[in-house]
Structure 1
Amino acid sequence: MELIKSAITDGRYITNSCMLVHLKMVVTAMYSGYRVLDTIKYMKNKEDTGDLVNDSAALSFATPLKRSRTTVCTARKRIFSSELQCALEKLESVVGDMNEFVILLAGCERISQKPYDTYIYIDNFMFGRHVEKQHLINFLLENNIAGPPPVLPIIGGRGVGKRTLVTHVCNDERVSSQFNFILHINGANLGQITENGNLSARTLVIVEFFSDVDDNDWKKFYSHVTNLSRENKVIILTTIEKLERFGTVKPMTLNRLVYEEYRYLFKTLAFGSTDPVDHPQLIPIVEEFAELLEGRLIPANILADVLRKNLNVHFWLCKLRQVQITAKKNMTMSGAHPHKLFDQGHPAHFTGYILSPPTIITPNVPQNDLPQLRFGDLLTGHIFPPNGDFKLISWESRIPPYTSFVHTARFCLSLSQDQPESPLTPPVHNLRATYLSHKECIIH
């Protein structure tokens, strides 16, 4: 496992497509391996805490319900045995080719590690996406062939980390030195690119689309980018698959993290600097959370921040039960998990409140006068929300353009009643330009 981890974190520029395919296999095997190690290490605690997790349905953690555990434990052991065997076979297959891979990796140019890189790895870090990061770097560093600027669509669901990936890559020294200017544009405001006179120098244009765009509007925009400089490059960020029609190269698709990788991330976030060995009963609860959250990054950060401040098994079980009740209530009333309701633009129920889908808010944009609360405070019960509408901040990005994900929330006397007569309408984006540095600009 250490050999695999060191190969991944060594920091090399990989341009060979076959090596990138192998790297993806290595990454998958590594996180499967970590799950195997935890399963073996915490097997007894997994069984004991598993009983508490099941018994939590009665919301009684101090006196678990009495029931026969023989059949359940036997079934669990069979499942564990099958999972272990499968993961071990993957590890053996990958490790067998590791020596050759490490030798080839040593021939790749090393990525310089700056203090900022170390800092963001510890806290404001981009987790995983090793292969996608290399693909994007290769695209940006490749010399343009004769013709109009290349366009790379990056397509993925809401909150999978598209903007984080691009920002992380743009912080790479080789990428930042490749372009004189980095321009961020809201896709609803393509026409404003004509107001920017800096594109005569080599520019990376990053366009984020929240809805489809007329082909003629895109053609005008792309023609302007081309006329200014054929050394420019364009990246499209969107959740809309059909916008890949504007790409000139194969689109990059960002999916949610697979379970093993997501579980590892959630465990890392939830324990922080604390050694999980000191709290073995919490490891199985991590797995329950990872399954319930379905690979979502923002809920992982919200919950992990709350759990990290109280490493008590009963507190964790209480929060787990809260998430279970929320998921079940929305499934019963709307037929979908709350995350999927948000993805579809529908409100969802949460502990006595109805929440609108999150709206992405950029800095310096005027907001309404509704009270603001943080999701983590609502989870811990440290605050008493107002009876009227209020804004619930689920996440504040730590990377430019420092956007916030904000819900409009409304108190509901009974979760069994219908949705409010007036739908919760997300605030409208005001479009304006924000300059992050001498070479980076955002047009919202």
Structure 2
Amino acid sequence: MDLAISAITGDLANRIISFLMSEYMDHVCSEEKVERLQQLLLRIGMVVEEADSRYITMLIQLKTLVAAMYQGHHVLDTIKYRKHKELICDSSALSIPTPNKRTRTLVSSASHKVFNSGLIRTLQNLEAGVANMAEFVILLGGCERISRRPYDAYLYIDNFIFGRHVEKQQIIRFLLHHNTPGSLAVLPIIGDAGVGNKTLVTHVCDVERVRSHFSMILHLNGDDLFRITDHERLSGRILVVVEFASDVDEDDWTTFYHFVTNMERK
């Protein structure tokens, strides 16, 4: 009988020690994973912040990095919440009956395993994003930086300031990326007189990238559309800016459009 009790006691002690060691190792591994998660979030956050300050066309890669970063921050916030919740539960553990305490322990252990697997998946996604981030960072260095104080893109009317920076970049993007052969691209800029549309277009035409993209920039008045016929020997990529003070005759516009289209095909 004594031998049986001794064997049972020894086996129980070994199981308790194994359980405590397993819990300790899980805790150590979890702390290491959390630290690794914070490091990865810091690296990705720096790249995303730099990308937000540049004009980029690699939107798919950026969205992937941002999604992984948000997922990582969600997991990190959940970890902080769990730690706070465990502290509250431990402070009130003395007032909980033993059967309920055992049930809570089992549920907590199962929840910890599920959360730990989620932490591992998040780390894998972040590490994959960081591994594929080198080329993205290299290409990012070639993108133009956004001016934080674009004074030339602001308009002042009656002590109010209206930002035209977004419109300016949309026009530049349209001019530089529209290269469909055989079709004439028309971008209307509509607005009342005196709101700064002419100033906006002038600043766009003064941008170095726009001036180097077109071999010639012509400025015409809506009342004198056919003055473009004076430039029959035009060649290369041409930008035509037409200012309308009033509605244009549809027949005149159709004739002008076909003339410019045919000139482009020559």
The structure in which a higher percent of residues are helix is: 2
Q: TM-score band (shorter)?
A: 0.3 to 0.5
TM-score, L = length of structure 2: 0.42
Instruction: Tell which structure's C-alpha radius of gyration is larger.
Output: 2
TM-score, L = length of structure 1: 0.26
